[in-house]
Amino acid sequence: MRISYILVNNTVPENAGAAARALKTMGFNDLRFVNPCDYLCEKAMMLAHGSHDILYNAKVYDSLSDALADIDFSIATSSKQRWVRKNEISVNRLKSFIEDKGDTVQELAIVFGGEESGLSNEDIALCDVVSSVQLAGSYPSLNLAQAVMIYTYSLSGIGLGNFGGQNAKNPQHTAYKPLKEKVIKVLNGIGLPPETLIHGRVLERLANANEQDINLLHSITTKIIERVEGELDK
């Protein structure tokens, strides 16, 4: 499994540099930016001591949806109560939560918002679950670089061969992302489009599924689609 770290609307170069250093220190190398500041400036490079390669190789995108295009499962980070219904996973439980996905997820992303207001509701809605760090008090809060450090430390070892792995097979009939697409097709086909409450609730529960559940649901949804394929494709 590869874990990508995505910074959305990052405005402080020093945080970009410190985030790169956190990735490198904890064994990660895929840093992505959406609408970033100048993350290659001197201020960023000073904080990215020994990790300049992470910044030089970082990918830049115009939107979060573009940055997530090749991602199987995405986790939004937020310290605020949002009007978006999503499962919330504590950073303390996140590693075991991810490990339960087994080989059904090969490309995973942790998404961070900008320094001023964090992720928007629209950005959170693009992700599968939300994660947060429990703090002793509501203020002062963590800054962006500190949050990245906590997540990289908490997830260190994933993607380094602890389970699954870059070369693990991830066929269409066992992977999480194709299952999500099939479930959405079924929901739309039976008159439950994205704007309905139950559509969101089903996807929310789907995000909690472990590897065994995902394999079982693949079989069930495939049978449903085969049974009513003519109706769903109209």
* Pair (222, 144) in one structural domain: no
Same domain, 148 and 184: no
% the chain with pLDDT above 70: 88
Q: What's the domain count of the chain? A: 2
Per the CB < 8 A criterion, the answer to whether 95 and 155 are in contact is yes
Does residue 163 belong to any structural domain of this protein? no
Across residues 11-27, what is the average pLDDT?
98
Same domain, 120 and 216: no
Q: Under a CB-based contact definition with an 8 Å cutoff, are residues 107 and 4 in contact? A: yes
Instruction: Among 110, 126, 155, identify where a domain stops.
Output: 155
Taking the C-alpha atoms of residue 43 and residue 23, their distance in angstroms, rounded to an integer, is 18
Residue 221 lies in a domain: yes
Residue 165 lies in a domain: no
Residue with tokens 């009007």: 83
8 and 105 assigned to the same domain: yes
User: pTM, whole model, 2 decimals?
Assistant: 0.90
What pLDDT was estimated at residue 27? Answer: 96
Q: What is the CATH number of the domain that holds 26?
A: 3.40.1280.10
Average pLDDT of the chain, as a whole number: 90
Q: Is residue 168 part of a domain?
A: no
Cα 193 to Cα 46: distance, rounded to the nearest angstrom: 49
DSSP for residue 149? H
End position of a domain, from candidates 126, 155, 184: 155
What confidence tens digit (pLDDT) does each residue in 147-204 have? 999 999 999 988 654 444 444 556 667 899 999 999 999 999 889 999 999 999 999 9
24 with 138, same domain: the answer is yes
Residue 22 has a CB neighbour count (10 Å cut-off) of 24
Same domain, 19 and 127: yes
- What order do you get walking across the sheet with 107-112 strand by strand? 59-61, 30-34, 2-8, 107-112, 73-77, 129-132, 88-90
Read off φ and ψ for residue 30, nearest 5 degrees: -105, 100
User: What integer pLDDT is reported at residue 134 of this predicted model?
Assistant: 86
Handedness of CA 29, 33, 37, 38 (dihedral sign): positive
* Tokens 């590897």 -> residue: 211
Say if residue 123 is in the same domain as residue 20.
yes
Check whether residue 13 and residue 76 sit in a common domain.
yes
Residues 147 and 180 placed together within one structural domain of the fold: no
For range 31-39, the mean pLDDT: 98
User: How do 59-61 and 30-34 pair as beta strands?
Assistant: parallel
Q: In terms of domains, do 198 and 117 share one?
A: no
DSSP 8-state class, residue 140: S
Per-residue confidence at 9, pLDDT binned at 50, 70, 90? very high
Domain end position, chosen among 127, 155, 183: 155
Structure token digits, residue 203: 């996807």
Residue 107: inside a domain = yes
In a domain, 51, yes or no: yes
Domain extent for 83: 2-155
Kindly report the CA angle at 53 between 106 and 158, in degrees rounded to 5?
25
On whether both 103 and 214 belong to a single domain, the answer is: no
On whether residue 47 sits in a domain, the answer given is: yes
Residue 158 confidence (pLDDT): 85
pLDDT in tens, 95-117: 999 999 999 999 999 999 999 88
161 is a domain residue: no
* pLDDT tens digit sequence for 199-219: 999 999 999 999 999 999 999
* Domain co-membership, 51 together with 92: yes
